[in-house]
Amino acid sequence: MINQIEQVWLASFHCVFQNRSFKLAAEQMNLPSSNVSRHIALLEEKLNTKLFERTTRRVSPTQAGEQLYHSTHSLLNQLNQALEEMSELTQTLSGELRIVMPDSPILANALVSFCNNNPAISLSCETSLNAKQEWLEQFDVVLSFQRGKLTDSTWVANEIARWPSVVVATPKLLATTTPPTCLADLNRVPCITSLTALNGTPWVFQHPDGHFISQRVQSTFKVNSGYLAKSAAMASIGFAILPRSMCEQELAQDVLRVVELEHPPADLVLYAFHAAKTHLPRKVALLVEHLKHCAEALS
């Protein structure tokens, strides 16, 4: 049976399954839509089963399609990995590098310099702040800021950089609000929440013994941007957690002040996540090392 099925048919099938769209799959594979449709039709003919239900509005896998995808996904990944490892035996880095990362000037400059040093790399980059588990099926590296303990997952996490953080507020806000002295006080003062704002993630602090403490805060200003959180804090909208290095100038000029609580905020950490593989693709390993080097140079 295997010698009757072309690998490109399976590649098209996987791409349609992941995108739930023939059009998006064709764009991702850089093929005409008619070619992708023909690959699926030929695969269905050889297997004598229908793999997708198609309407004018959506594409959804059949039970047979679901089973085929989950049965062949790891096998196809292993084959792709083996071929990538063989191609990477040469000195020149080449091939597509698919990345998700926050829209950050620092990361943008680091990524541009990496691609400039490796012109044979073809880059595909999406910007997003919140990492999602399913992305590791579509991307080689997911860069994400985290604070506190990482959630359990099948991902491999490489720490790129970390920034000690502080709770800050303006002198004006401290004069008009009873300053918090313990974590529980954050429930009664206006706070600016950042990072995974839509998930209502609490602020995270670190106990001297190393464990993390989550504290819900009162917030009507929720943003997914450290720079926007800093601007709001400087406008006296509320208290904010910021990397200390991000507001050193404002602290020195007394535009912002550090608010001391019984426990300090947990560090903000940048991680590079990638799927667990026996042999990490060379382009991914070198990108991670490049990002670490850039972070060290900046610090």
**DSSP letters along the chain, please?**
-GGGS-HHHHHHHHHHHHHT-HHHHHHHHT--HHHHHHHHHHHHHHHTS--EEE-SS-EEE-HHHHHHHHHHHHHHHHHHHHHHHHHTTSSS--EEEEEEE---HHHHHHHHHHHHH-TTEEEEEEE-SS--GGGGGT-SEEEEEEESSPPP-SEEEEEEEEE-EEEEE-HHHHHHS----SGGGGGTS-EEE-SSGGGTPPEEEE-TTS-EEEE---EEEE-S-HHHHHHHHHTTS-EEEEEGGGSHHHHHTTSSEE---SSPBPPEEEEEEEE--SS--HHHHHHHHHHHHHHHHH-
The CATH number linked to 255 is 3.40.190.10
Q: Are residues 120 and 55 in the same domain?
A: no
Identify whether 1 is part of a domain. Answer: no
With a cut of 50, say whether residue 198 has pLDDT above it.
no
Between 188 and 201, residue with greater pLDDT? 188
Assigned domain for 2 exists: no
Q: Which domain holds residue 57?
A: 7-88
Looking at the fold, whether 115 and 179 belong to one and the same domain comes out as no
Q: For the purposes of burial, counting CB atoms within 10 Å of the CB of 38, is it exposed (0-12), middle (13-18) or buried (19 or more)?
A: middle
Query: Based on the structure, what is the number of domains in the chain?
Result: 3
Strand partners, 60: 53
For position 183, what pLDDT does the model report? 95
Mark whether 23 and 78 lie in a shared domain.
yes
* 278 shares its domain with 201: no
**Domain-ending residue, one of 37, 72, 88:** 88
Residues 26 and 174 in one domain: no
Whether 238 has a pLDDT exceeding 60, the answer reads: yes
Same domain, 187 and 249: yes
Whether 266 shows a pLDDT value over 70: the answer reads yes
On whether both 258 and 288 belong to a single domain, the answer is no
Residue 282 burial (C-beta neighbours within 10 Å; 0-12, 13-18, 19+): middle
Report the pLDDT averaged over residues 190-198: 71
With respect to residue 153, please indicate whether it lies within any of the assigned structural domains: yes
Which pLDDT band, with edges at 50, 70 and 90, does 197 fall under? very low
Measured between alpha carbons, how far is 53 from 75 in angstroms, rounded to an integer? 24
Is residue 118 classed exposed, middle or buried when 0-12, 13-18 and 19+ CB atoms within 10 A define those classes? Answer: middle
Q: In this structure, are 208 and 74 located in the same domain?
A: no
Residue-level pLDDT at 298: 61
Quick one: 149 and 24 in the same domain? no
Neighbours of 231 (CB within 10 A): 14
Residues 157 and 195 in one domain: no
- State the pLDDT at residue 184: 93
Last residue of a domain, one of 88, 116, 139: 88
The pLDDT tens digits of the residues spanning 69-123 come to 998 888 877 777 776 666 655 556 778 899 998 888 888 999 999 999 999 899 9
Q: Pick the residue with more confidence: 42 or 128?
A: 42
Q: Quick one: 142 and 215 in the same domain?
A: no
- Assigned domain for 238 exists: yes
Whether 195 maps to a domain, the answer reads yes
156 and 292 fall within a common domain: yes
Indicate if the pLDDT at residue 66 is higher than 80. Answer: yes
